[in-house]
Structure 1
């Protein structure tokens, strides 16, 4: 028996199925990462056309079947259309989606990580701080939310400003994360720290990171 449910979430990725359908991976606040079919969404004039693209954030009405979900309606609050004109921002945003996909699990409530993802994507588009700093903040805070933050790496002396920045990110509420900038020296050390965290925590290649490395020298 199918049950109709509403979930708040963001489309992480999608792929074509059959002649007219999409299958979408949606990161939801209450059910974690789910896979849902969007029937006939690739047909011209479909009410779901454009609603199951990556970055689409809103409320999805689903049929919850025994083995799968089907999207019936989508009320999209933010399409993040700015990424269509901002290739660099889109590359960073895709990396954020892939990180979120790695951490979240099906049927695992993860509202704070979803909120972090949302405000981090907005930070990429507002141009108040550089994309690489946004990335570092996002990666560090995601580790904190998932309970995997290891603290300042040992075996190396970091600038006091870097240590302060990492601790500020770890302890601050989400609304205060993207309210500051750092020097080039601190940013370089933050890049080293996040690279080390990633090496410890993520045990598979990230395709979006490979693109960032090749296009924008991200490490």
Structure 2
């Protein structure tokens, strides 16, 4: 595979390499998680600069080299720059990327995960949706994708929580963030999702530590 080829996805993380280069982790619909080298991306004049940042969704043109994949160009579909303007929101968004990075694999197509990330970041920007609800919905849907979910909330008898649980597990992605919960049910729903998430994913996420320190 020496010719250029195209993938669609999102930049999960970026790391500096040498003075002007970057190493990217990109979650792609076609090939799952990929490590990609962006040569010269830190130069102000580089055409790769804008498209080689976390939260960027787009079409990535790559070339297979001797030591991995090299980024040739990016057609950006969304930047989500507004998220960086709010520290708490930025922590939630960073956690979404961290969790996606944790569960995703190489060579395993990830179209639904990419779309879930996109819709979840958009939901964070929705003023009528509490960040805690967006996080819980995202986590529960990731649990579903990973086969780690339970059909019912593990510790809740509230009808509203059971209805929300059923909605998240059964709705198409486009309908995922179309409900809200009153305060007591919201807290209950989030606690049940958190319990299941901690049981399934044995990892301490850096963004969650920062988020908790803000509260």
> TM-score, normalization: structure 1?
0.94
1:67 CA displacement? 4.1
Alpha-carbon contact 2:153-2:165 (below 8 Å) kept: no
1:172 aligned partner: 171
Which consecutive unaligned segments of at least 5 residues does structure 1 have? none
Matches for 1:96-175 after TM superposition, within 5 Å: 96-154=96-154, 156-175=155-174
Q: Please, which moves more after superposition, 47-56 or 156-165?
A: 156-165
For 1:151 and 1:99, the matched residues in 2 are separated by 21
Q: Which residue of 2 aligns with 1:3?
A: 3
Inter-partner Cα distance in structure 1 for 2:123 and 2:13: 20
- Deviating beyond 3 angstroms after TM superposition, the runs of 4 or more aligned structure 1 residues are none
2:22 corresponds to? 22
Alignment of 1:191-210 (within 5 A): 191-210=190-209
Q: Distance in 2 between matches of 1:179 and 1:163?
A: 16
Q: Is the 8 A contact 1:2 1:66 kept in 2?
A: no
**Counterpart contact for 1:158–1:189, Cα < 8 Å:** no
**Partners of 2:70 and 2:156 in 1: CA distance:** 52
Q: TM-score, normalised by structure 2?
A: 0.95
Q: In the alignment, what sits opposite 1:57? A: 57
SS of equivalent to 2:125:
helix
**What's the Cα RMSD here?**
1.3
Distance 1:80 1:148 in 2: 29
Q: Report the Cα distance in structure 2 between the residues aligned to 1:121 and 1:159, rounded to whole angstroms.
A: 28
Q: Deviations over 1:163-188 (max 9, x none)?
A: 11101110011111111110111111
Q: Is contact 2:156–2:192 with CA below 8 Å preserved after alignment?
A: no
Deviation at 1:43, TM superposition (A): 1.1
SS at match of 1:178: coil
Q: How many residues align?
A: 215
Q: Identify if the C-alpha distance between structure 1 residues 72 and 88 changes in structure 2 by more than 3 Å, giving closer, same or farther.
A: same
Contact 2:153 2:162 in 1 (8 A): no
